[in-house]
Amino acid sequence: MRLCGFGPAFGLADASPFVLKAEAFLRWQGIGYEKVNDLGSVRRTRNRKLPMLEDGGDTVIDSHAIIAHVVKTRGLVIDADLSPEQRAQAYWVARTLEEHVYFVFLWMRWWPDETWPQVRNALFGGVPTWVRPAVASLVRHSVKKQAWAQGVARYPEAQIHAMLDEALVQLAQGLGEQRYWFGDEVHEIDTLLYAFLAPALLSSFDSPHVARLRGHQRLVAYAQRLHQCFGFDGAN
């Protein structure tokens, strides 16, 4: 089993939260895999996105599809202890993270000119020097178009920051004093929450707004517990 991603960035196992999500799930379930860190892998996918899983003769694209494939082919039973109400909550938390909060994080990394050099150096350092500026600029333009089309980038900067502040406040409220999202045991939603919280709360990416976000000590401690639980500490 080979999991193709973009590669380590900012002290985390991958630059993409969706790759982190798939990788955290595999680690949570104790499933062995080889991580292939190759930006060029994106050219081999139909949707030009990663992660991509190669499992024997099967090639699976998209983190949702990868997890569904692994659950089915390995006969896994996931979250059997959750009530229908808890499953519904997990569903809506996941949709909010993937379809809204993701684009706010995307804006924070790719849009401001003052933090762009961090992203360029972290994500494109392995690209040959003679094409690096052109490749980095092309990808940045494409990502910014995504953020604009989705709508987040159309708001004033202060409002975008407020969106993320509110999202983290609500996540902290939802977590409460629990060790993990649904209590003392890790569930699938925790793998997704790790993938979206770690880039803001645990990574070396820095900006004035990110520094404020790290004031959410309850969420930082939660992300750190998951980082250790999934074996990412010292294994990036």
- Which residue would you say has higher pLDDT here, 49 or 127? 127
Give the Cβ contact number of residue 53 at 10 Å: 23
Q: What pLDDT digit, counting tens, does each position of 146-187 carry?
A: 899 999 999 999 999 999 999 999 999 999 999 999 999 999
Are 166 and 212 a contacting pair, CB within 8 Å?
no
Q: Please name every residue paired with 34 in a beta bridge, in sequence order, or none if there are none.
A: 2
129 with 102, same domain: the answer is yes
Q: Which residues of 124-146 are buried (b: 16+ CB within 10 A; e: fewer)?
A: beebeeeeeeeebeebbeebeee
Q: Please name every residue paired with 5 in a beta bridge, in sequence order, or none if there are none.
A: 37
Give the Cβ contact number of residue 157 at 10 Å: 13
CATH of the domain at 218: 1.20.1050
Domain extent for 59: 2-73
CATH of the domain at 8: 3.40.30.10
Residue 3 φ then ψ, to 5°: -105, 115
Q: Which of 24, 52, 73 is the last residue before a domain boundary?
A: 73
Whether 236 is in a domain gets the answer: no
Q: Which of 73, 100, 122 is the last residue before a domain boundary?
A: 73
pLDDT band (50, 70, 90) for residue 114: very high
pTM for the predicted model, two decimal places: 0.93
**Cα separations in angstroms, 51 against 29, 106, 114:** 18, 17, 28
Length of the chain counted residue by residue: 236
% pLDDT > 70, the chain: 94
pLDDT band (50, 70, 90) for residue 80: very high
Q: What pLDDT digit, counting tens, does each position of 25-58 carry?
A: 999 999 999 999 876 666 666 666 789 999 998 9
Are 204 and 11 a contacting pair, CB within 8 Å?
yes
